[in-house]
């Protein structure tokens, strides 16, 4: 086949077109970042080559002098970014440059809001990388050759970013990729060596590889100079690195546009030597829940990039952490399989986890507002740690935040420590209520007595909270007690007179209870009086060791079959309706009342009714006769 015969025009995947349109508008105010993105890709490509060449030195093609070059041509109005990295084959160009092969793409488009600022951030998180070129260029030419393939297998990709691109096979003697941007008319500001140098220093100083540019001095034409610091940021000493540099490095590795919330940089010395530079992002990626993680922690061995997203380096519940861990002791040929059972890796992970939890703990105590942001973004993921990581459970428990009956809003901002500090004198349990939503929890009848006595109840309203309940039995020596389980003993907070009254009404309700049991039969496990309620007539509870109904619903919705555990109907003998039912002599009416009591208790605990029409009919009968 001749070279010409291999020229073809292809269409972008629909998502690419959509993304390009969006990006050109949203990123307009950050347009200089195109250079950061292209340098970042070049650096990744060299990292990958360096790694592959460890097992196949022929890939070096006798050129192990890794570098990135940035140049510009005022006349031609072009900027060129060139690397001697891994390069791409024809198929890789089609796959990587013409399509978005990322899971979560659909979710990403759904999450766009139309608000330019917000969308710019989301686009940043999604990682537009290469496509940001079209913000400043009306034509982009990419010429590349995969390392290890013959010079005749170079590929030229070209597009005006409007929906199509052309591909042709070209001769490319050197391996790697060269991207040429043909600048738009109004983007001449970038055809300036000083401007380009300052953008590189601002965004790409931390890139480990040297970035070369032609010397500006006319007398030194043809000469090049390195324009960045060109040393791995994490190897430098903390005192030499500015906050700005740390932040830019974060953006490089995470492909995020916004600043991280916080970071830690720590060198371990002694028997094991390794350095970690870890970041907590400022916001959760749009697909935190939908995909296997993409840009996690990168593993380096003696400054050589080994792999992205080395999941063994972080527990799953810290999957939002970004950064680099560089080991001096692992072998360079380390593979994912080796990582699975490597003692050194386990040690690094356990240390990194402790450091991150310590960092979060510091943030929670010293910068509570920042911690609030953290909790809003990542709290639900961190909660998984209570289930997953028993060795750090105490530290994790301190980091938890819940909404509470003492707060005005649904904000999860009450820690277990705060709860314990606010406990009433004589109170020995941490009370909580599990419900499907904050609204359902806030108005639950089960809270009535606690409100009356001024006892705080934590509201567990995230699905994961059900599992926290089963794992976290106590905190600071205080037992956690669900308000919907077992018999709640608040006798310490009840005076003698009140107790006497309760006993009296309870013994007077004995007959009523028997009648209710007969009518409700096996719908309930038991019927008994309660002191939990003050303004509702009845509620449903489970035994101390029973499964909470909302957890049951959650598990059943996920396909689990559970034993049919009946609930206990508790009645408030002092309530006017209960008093009225007690007097009811008409058997049909009594039966209607009994069912209505049971069914309204199901409704207020968020359960669906088995026979909603029957409930409405019974209620209507009672209303019509009252
Ligand atoms: N200079 C390059 N050399 C080799 N491959 C490259 C180069 N630039 C881009 N690629 C390939 O194209 C892919 C897409 O690049 P792009 O910049 O769009 O996104 P990315 O770098 O994967 O990350 P993100 O989507 O998060 O920005 C890269 O993953 C890489 O495989």
Per the prediction, the chain carries an average pLDDT of 88
- Tell me the pLDDT band of 3, cut-offs 50, 70 and 90: very low
Q: Is 212 contained in some domain?
A: yes
Looking at per-residue pLDDT, the higher value among 487 and 399 belongs to 399
The two structure tokens encoding residue 83: 């690397």
Same domain, 226 and 265: no
Q: Is 86 contained in some domain?
A: yes
* Least confident segment among 57-66, 115-124, 472-481, 583-592: 115-124
Same domain, 353 and 412: no
What was the pLDDT predicted at 284?
Answer: 85
- Tell me the pLDDT band of 554, cut-offs 50, 70 and 90: confident
What was the pLDDT predicted at 357?
Answer: 98
Q: Is 429 contained in some domain?
A: yes
E strands present in 442-492: 458-460, 474-475, 478-482
Q: Could you read off the pLDDT of 402-415 as tens digits, one per residue?
A: 999 999 899 999 99
- C-alpha count within 13 angstroms, C-beta hemisphere, residue 384: 10
Selection from 303, 268, 9, 296 nearest residue 163 by Cα = 9
Distance 96 CA to ligand 1 centre (A): 7
Other CB atoms within a 10 A radius of the CB of residue 544 amount to 10
Structural domain total, the chain: 4
Does 309 score more than 90 pLDDT?
A: no
Other CB atoms within a 10 A radius of the CB of residue 400 amount to 22
Same domain, 201 and 95: yes
Annotated binding residue at 69?
no
Looking at per-residue pLDDT, the higher value among 230 and 275 belongs to 275
Q: Could you read off the pLDDT of 417-444 as tens digits, one per residue?
A: 999 999 999 899 999 999 888 998 998 9
Distance 130 CA to ligand 1 centre (A): 6
Q: Is 395 contained in some domain?
A: no
Average pLDDT of the segment spanning 305-328: 87
Annotated binding residue at 243?
no
Domain boundary among 231, 251, 270: 231
What was the pLDDT predicted at 550?
Answer: 76
The CA R_g of the chain, rounded to the nearest whole Å, is 32
Atom 10 (ligand 1) nearest CA? 41
Same domain, 404 and 361: no
Helix (H) or strand (E) holding 144: strand 137-145
User: Cα dist. 75→79, 159, 178, 188, 562 in Å?
Assistant: 11, 21, 19, 11, 75
User: CB–CB of 109/290 below 8 Å?
Assistant: no
Does 1 score more than 70 pLDDT?
A: no
Does 137 score more than 50 pLDDT?
A: yes
Looking at per-residue pLDDT, the higher value among 119 and 436 belongs to 436
What was the pLDDT predicted at 128?
Answer: 65
- Tell me the pLDDT band of 127, cut-offs 50, 70 and 90: low
Q: Is 266 contained in some domain?
A: yes
Selection from 24, 285, 255 nearest residue 131 by Cα = 24
- Measure the CA–CA gap between 144 and 396, rounded to whole angstroms: 48
Measuring from each residue's beta carbon to the nearest atom of ligand 1, which residues come in under 6 Å? Answer: 37, 41-42, 45, 83, 85-88, 96-97, 127, 129-131, 177, 255
- Tell me the pLDDT band of 2, cut-offs 50, 70 and 90: very low
Q: Above 0.90 for ipTM, yes or no?
A: yes
- Tell me the pLDDT band of 104, cut-offs 50, 70 and 90: low
- Could you identify the atom of ligand 1 that is nearest to the CA of residue 102? 25
* Least confident segment among 270-284, 409-423, 558-572, 588-602: 558-572
Q: What is the CATH number of the domain that holds 438?
A: 3.40.50.11260
Same domain, 17 and 161: yes
Annotated binding residue at 524?
no
Average pLDDT of the segment spanning 265-289: 88
Distance 41 CA to ligand 1 centre (A): 5
Same domain, 477 and 505: no
Same domain, 138 and 25: yes
Q: What is the CATH number of the domain that holds 256?
A: 3.30.230.80
Q: Is 426 contained in some domain?
A: yes
Tell me which residue range forms the domain holding 337: 237-365
Selection from 46, 76, 61, 71 nearest residue 177 by Cα = 46
Pocket mutation for ligand 1, best pick of 23, 36, 41 (most atoms within 8 Å of C-beta): 41
What was the pLDDT predicted at 121?
Answer: 64
Looking at per-residue pLDDT, the higher value among 6 and 143 belongs to 143
What was the pLDDT predicted at 5?
Answer: 46
Same domain, 18 and 140: yes
- Could you identify the atom of ligand 1 that is nearest to the CA of residue 129? 17
Q: Could you read off the pLDDT of 327-383 as tens digits, one per residue?
A: 998 877 777 777 777 888 889 999 999 999 999 999 999 999 999 999 999 999 999
Same domain, 117 and 147: yes
Same domain, 165 and 243: no
Does 467 score more than 90 pLDDT?
A: no
Other CB atoms within a 10 A radius of the CB of residue 184 amount to 16
- Could you identify the atom of ligand 1 that is nearest to the CA of residue 85? 3
Same domain, 248 and 136: no
Domain boundary among 428, 457, 483: 483
- Measure the CA–CA gap between 458 and 476, rounded to whole angstroms: 16
CB burial of residue 626 (10 Å; 0-12, 13-18, 19+): exposed
Distance 445 CA to ligand 1 centre (A): 56
What was the pLDDT predicted at 305?
Answer: 82
Q: Is 120 contained in some domain?
A: yes
Q: Three-state secondary structure along 42-97? A: HHHHHHHHHHHHHHCHHHHCCCCCCCEEEEEECCCCEEEEEECCCCCCHHHHHHHH
Distance 127 CA to ligand 1 centre (A): 9
Same domain, 427 and 503: no
Strand 478-482 to strand 474-475: parallel, antiparallel, or no bridges (unpaired)? antiparallel
Distance 131 CA to ligand 1 centre (A): 9
Q: Is 275 contained in some domain?
A: yes
- Could you identify the atom of ligand 1 that is nearest to the CA of residue 87? 4
Percent of the chain with pLDDT over 70: 93
User: CB–CB of 498/555 below 8 Å?
Assistant: no
- Could you identify the atom of ligand 1 that is nearest to the CA of residue 42? 1
- Tell me the pLDDT band of 225, cut-offs 50, 70 and 90: very high
Distance 436 CA to ligand 1 centre (A): 42
* Least confident segment among 227-236, 300-309, 519-528: 300-309
Average pLDDT of the segment spanning 14-22: 76
Pocket mutation for ligand 1, best pick of 19, 44, 142 (most atoms within 8 Å of C-beta): 44
Atom 25 (ligand 1) nearest CA? 127
Distance 308 CA to ligand 1 centre (A): 13
Distance 289 CA to ligand 1 centre (A): 23
Q: Where on the phi/psi map is residue 382: left (φ > 0), alpha (ψ -120 to 50), or beta?
A: alpha
Domain boundary among 365, 380, 410: 365
Handedness of CA 325, 331, 333, 339 (dihedral sign): negative
Atom 30 (ligand 1) nearest CA? 96
Average pLDDT of the segment spanning 139-159: 96
Average pLDDT of the segment spanning 45-74: 92
Pocket mutation for ligand 1, best pick of 83, 130, 135, 308 (most atoms within 8 Å of C-beta): 130
């Amino acid at each position: 086949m001749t070279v010409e015969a291999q020229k073809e025009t292809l269409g972008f995947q629909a998502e690419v077109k959509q993304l390009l349109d969006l990006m050109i508008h949203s990123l307009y105010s950050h347009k200089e970042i195109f250079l950061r993105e292209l340098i970042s890709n070049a650096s990744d490509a060299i990292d990958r080559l360096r790694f592959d060449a460890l097992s196949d030195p022929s890939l070096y093609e006798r050129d192990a002098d890794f570098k990135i070059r940035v140049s510009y041509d005022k006349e031609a109005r072009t900027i060129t970014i060139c690397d001697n990295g891994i390069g791409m084959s024809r198929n890789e160009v089609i796959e990587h440059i013409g399509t978005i092969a990322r899971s979560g793409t659909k979710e990403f488009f759904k999450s766009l809001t139309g608000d330019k600022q917000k969308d710019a951030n989301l686009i940043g998180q999604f990682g537009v990388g290469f496509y940001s070129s079209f913000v400043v260029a009306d034509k982009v030419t990419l010429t590349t050759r995969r390392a290890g393939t013959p010079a005749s297998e170079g590929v030229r990709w070209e597009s005006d970013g409007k929906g199509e691109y052309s591909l042709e096979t070209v001769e490319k003697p050197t391996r790697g990729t060269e991207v040429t941007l043909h600048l738009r008319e109004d983007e001449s500001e970038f055809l300036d060596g000083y401007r380009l140098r300052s953008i590189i220093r601002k965004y790409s100083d931390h890139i480990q590889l040297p970035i070369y540019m032609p010397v500006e001095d006319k007398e030194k034409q043809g000469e090049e100079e390195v324009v960045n610091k060109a040393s791995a940021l994490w190897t430098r000493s903390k005192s030499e690195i500015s906050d700005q540099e740390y932040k830019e490095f974060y953006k490089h590795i995470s492909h995020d546009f916004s600043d991280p919330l916080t970071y830690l940089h720590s060198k371990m010395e002694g028997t094991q030597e390794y350095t970690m530079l870890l970041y907590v992002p400022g916001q959760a990626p749009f697909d935190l829940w939908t995909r296997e993680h993409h840009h996690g922690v990168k593993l380096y061995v003696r400054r050589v990039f080994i792999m992205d997203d080395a999941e063994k380096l972080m527990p799953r519940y810290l999957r939002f952490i970004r950064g680099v861990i560089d080991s001096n002791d692992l072998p360079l040929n380390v593979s994912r399989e080796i990582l699975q059972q490597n003692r050194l890796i386990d040690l690094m992970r356990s240390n990194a986890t402790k450091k991150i939890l310590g960092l979060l703990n510091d943030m929670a105590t010293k910068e509570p507002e920042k911690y609030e942001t953290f909790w809003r973004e990542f709290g639900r993921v961190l909660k998984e740690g209570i289930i997953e990581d028993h060795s750090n459970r105490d530290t994790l428990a301190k980091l938890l935040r819940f909404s509470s009956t003492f707060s005005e809003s649904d904000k999860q901002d009450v820690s277990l420590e705060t709860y314990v500090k606010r406990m009433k004198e004589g109170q020995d349990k941490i009370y909580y209520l599990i419900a499907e939503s904050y609204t359902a929890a806030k108005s639950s009848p089960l809270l009535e007595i606690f409100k009356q006595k001024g006892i705080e109840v934590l509201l567990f309203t995230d699905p994961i909270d059900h599992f926290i309940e089963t794992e976290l039995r106590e905190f600071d020596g205080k037992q956690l007690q669900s308000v919907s389980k077992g018999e709640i003993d608040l006798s310490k907070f009840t005076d003698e007179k009140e107790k006497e009254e309760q006993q009296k009404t309870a013994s007077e309700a004995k007959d009523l209870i028997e009648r209710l049991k007969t009518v409700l039969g096996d719908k309930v496990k038991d019927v008994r009086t309660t002191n939990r309620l003050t303004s509702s007539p009845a509620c449903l509870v489970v035994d101390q060791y029973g499964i909470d109904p909302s957890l049951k619903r959650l598990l059943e919705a996920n396909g689990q079959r559970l034993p049919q555990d009946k609930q206990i109907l508790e009645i408030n003998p002092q309530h006017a309706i209960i008093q009225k039912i007690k007097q009811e002599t008409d058997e049909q009416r009594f039966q209607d009342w009994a069912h209505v009591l049971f069914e309204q208790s199901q409704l207020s605990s968020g359960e669906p009714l088995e026979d909603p029409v029957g409930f409405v009919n019974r209620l209507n009968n009672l209303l019509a006769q009252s």
